[in-house]
Amino acid sequence: MTKQTLPNTKPIMGRIIKKWEECEDTFGFLIDIPVKVKGAKPGQFIMLWIPGVDEYPIGIADFENNVLEIGVSKMGVGTEAMINKNIGDLVGIRGFYGKPFQPPNKVNHLIIGGGFGMTPLKLLTTYLLLREEKEEIHIFEGARSKNRLMYLDWFQNLHDQKKLVFHVSTDDGSYGYKGFPTVDLEDFLQKSETPSVIYAAGPERMMKVIFDIGKKYQKVIDMQMSFADRYMRCGFGLCSYCAVDPTGWRICVDGPIFNAKQIEQIEDFGNYRRIETGEKQRI
């Protein structure tokens, strides 16, 4: 059941208490939320309002003691306006919206993504590390080059402590393997014997490639992917600007996380997205 942890309200103003350059063109923010809120679940998102500029969905990287962590990559006027914000500035938060990842037990957890997609995957990783079941966690992160890898130190550190296995790759070979993370993933799947679940977030074309790889292996018992990178207006199921065909599912409340069985039914997956007019555009 989707039970929103914050009631569905107008934006609640939160204060930026920390800002740092996470990697090239991407900044991390800690935002203090002034009302008592229960924990965010991995995969959920917020609508971030930059007063006077724009509002858009953003993944949740962490949430503890009423402090929210997000990562914002420069992609347009709205994200740039956030990046130009500083400690002490106020921004509006609506959410937490959407259905979360639902990791089963007794499987290998294979977490793969790139760019802004790493944000919800960071919270998923934290969540899995806190669980009592100790299963293997593998992170497959890819980026164009080393300076564009999000949470590099954070994942590397957990790898060094042997809490997870960090498979990192860059297109130019400046860090980790040279190539795409999907290649790493497939290498791993070929060798592994254990039942696995794939979790993915990031550009939809990449997710499509991952989905097609995952389907080839019986040991992949499920795939859970985030569709949060879509145009949204309301965030709570009213406007349908984020809806996918032919199922009529709204990404914001029926998703943004869908499982393999659901993804199979979404013909728009990897093919079309809606823009502000409601028109479909090829991905």
CB of 172 to other proteins, least distance (A): 35
Query: Cα–Cα distances in Å, from 134 out to 54, 109, 130, 265?
Result: 42, 11, 9, 32
Question: Is residue 66 near other proteins by the rule CB under 8 A?
Answer: no
- 3 vs 106, beta carbon nearer other proteins: 3
The DSSP-derived string for 97-116 is ESB-----SSSEEEEEEEGG
> Binding other proteins by CB under 8 A: which of 19, 138, 230, 250?
250
- DSSP state for residue 256 in the 8-state scheme: B
| Residues in CB range of 231: below 8 A, 6 or more apart | 241, 242, 273, 274, 275, 276
Nearest to 207 by CA among 219, 217, 196, 215: 215
- 42 vs 98, beta carbon nearer other proteins: 98
> Binding other proteins by CB under 8 A: which of 94, 148, 167, 230?
94
Question: Is residue 75 near other proteins by the rule CB under 8 A?
Answer: no
Rounded CA gap, 123 and 43, in Å?
8
Question: Is residue 52 near other proteins by the rule CB under 8 A?
Answer: yes
Q: Are 113 and 200 in contact (CB under 8 A)?
A: yes
- 92 vs 203, beta carbon nearer other proteins: 92
Question: Is residue 243 near other proteins by the rule CB under 8 A?
Answer: yes
- DSSP state for residue 93 in the 8-state scheme: E
The DSSP-derived string for 161-186 is TTSSEEEEEETTSSSSEES-HHHHHH
Kindly write out the interface string for residues 161-180 of this chain, putting x where it contacts other proteins by CB under 8 A and - elsewhere: --------------------
CB of 149 to other proteins, least distance (A): 30
Rounded CA gap, 194 and 106, in Å?
9
Partners of 220 in the β-ladder: 196
* Stretch 120-159 residues interacting with other proteins (CB under 8 A): none
CB of 114 to other proteins, least distance (A): 25
Question: Is residue 239 near other proteins by the rule CB under 8 A?
Answer: yes
Q: Which range of residues in 86-94, 124-132, 160-168, 196-204 is near other proteins by CB under 8 A?
A: 86-94
Q: How many C-beta atoms surround the C-beta of residue 195 within 10 A?
A: 15
- 7 vs 153, beta carbon nearer other proteins: 7
Give me the sign of the Cα torsion angle 261, 267, 271, 277: negative
Nearest to 16 by CA among 37, 34, 32: 32
> Binding other proteins by CB under 8 A: which of 29, 236, 258, 269?
236
CB of 41 to other proteins, least distance (A): 14
CB of 279 to other proteins, least distance (A): 4
* Stretch 12-51 residues interacting with other proteins (CB under 8 A): 13, 47, 49, 51
- 10 vs 191, beta carbon nearer other proteins: 10
State the residues that interact with other proteins by CB under 8 A.
Answer: 1-2, 7-11, 13, 47, 49, 51-52, 54-56, 90, 92, 94, 233-234, 236-241, 243-248, 250, 253-254, 274, 276-279
